[in-house]
Amino acid sequence: MLYETKDIQNLDRISRLKLINSICGIRGVHLIGTISPNKICNLAIFSSVVHIGSNPPLLGFVTRPNSEVKRDTYNNILETSYYTINSIEKNMVDRAHQTSGKYDSIISEFDACNIDSNFLNDFPAPFVTESKIKLGLKFVEKLDIKKNNTRLILGKIQLIEIPYSFDKLSNDDFIGVLGLNTYYEAKKIKDLEYVRIHPKI
């Protein structure tokens, strides 16, 4: 099927949402933990974490427009400068997905969704206890995407807790999402070698 600009525009809102969220493929999915200045912990699910660079170690994620959703994650990061990115384990999928509901700012999604929090190594934002991969980040910069009132939030990784050395990380440690609501585990196809400069053709 071929969709041109006018066909995409003419779709109803939900169909367009499903189309555009599906055609970009499998995305990693994470829980982002923050704490407000008055010490209410917040947790929200995101499927837009993107690798920006290794040195310095930078990750980004995209916030939705403030007009559409509550701003707890965004506000807390701007006010406190710290946040955590936590992996979602297979047995947490339902509870992690529940964090996408719109809870009042005075309610902690950790409590509302039955997800335990913990603090690590004096890092100022809360981690998800049962996540195998826990990352502590310090806010670096926000880049405004004016075209649709979203923002790329950049953070520097300051703390990593993983259950074993990083070269043991595998598909069993991560899940993904396709579209808005369908969760996947990953099954290895193959390892390939780094491609040499100017490969022989």
Residues 121-180 that bind its own copies (CB under 8 A): 121, 133, 135, 140-141, 143, 145-148, 150, 152, 154, 156-167, 169-171, 173-176, 178-180
| Residue 26 beta carbon to its own copies: minimum distance, rounded to whole angstroms | 4
How far apart CA 139 and CA 6 sit, in angstroms, is 39
Residue placing its CB nearer to its own copies in the complex, 37 or 191: 191
Distance separating alpha carbons of residues 190 and 43, to the nearest angstrom: 34
End-to-end Cα spacing for the chain: 35
- 196 near its own copies (CB under 8 A): yes
Q: Name the minimum Å distance from CB 43 to its own copies.
A: 13
Whether the Cβ atoms of residue 73 and residue 139 lie closer than 8 Å to each other: no
Q: Which is nearer to its own copies, 39 or 102 (CB)?
A: 102
Assess contact for 44 and 100: CB atoms under 8 A: yes
Only one of the segments 17-25, 34-42, 72-80 lies at the binding site for its own copies (rule: CB under 8 A); that segment is 17-25
Mention every residue, 6+ apart, whose C-beta is less than 8 A from residue 25.
178
Burial 42-68 (b: 16+ CB within 10 A, else e): bbbbbbbbeeeeeeeebbbbbbbeeee
Tokens standing for residue 146: 């004016």
Q: Which residue, 47 or 76, has its beta carbon nearer to its own copies?
A: 47
Please give the helix or strand (H or E) that residue 86 lies within, else none: strand 82-87
Residue among 37 and 56 whose Cβ is closer to its own copies = 56
Binding-site residue total for its own copies (CB under 8 A)?
108
Residue span binding its own copies (CB under 8 A) among the ranges 11-19, 33-41, 73-81: 11-19
Min CB(3)–its own copies separation in Å = 4
Residue among 37 and 104 whose Cβ is closer to its own copies: 104
> According to CB under 8 A, which residues from 34 to 93 bind its own copies?
47-60, 62, 65, 85, 87, 90, 93
Task: Please give the structure tokens belonging to residue 46.
Answer: 């995101």
Nearer to its own copies, 37 or 196 (CB): 196
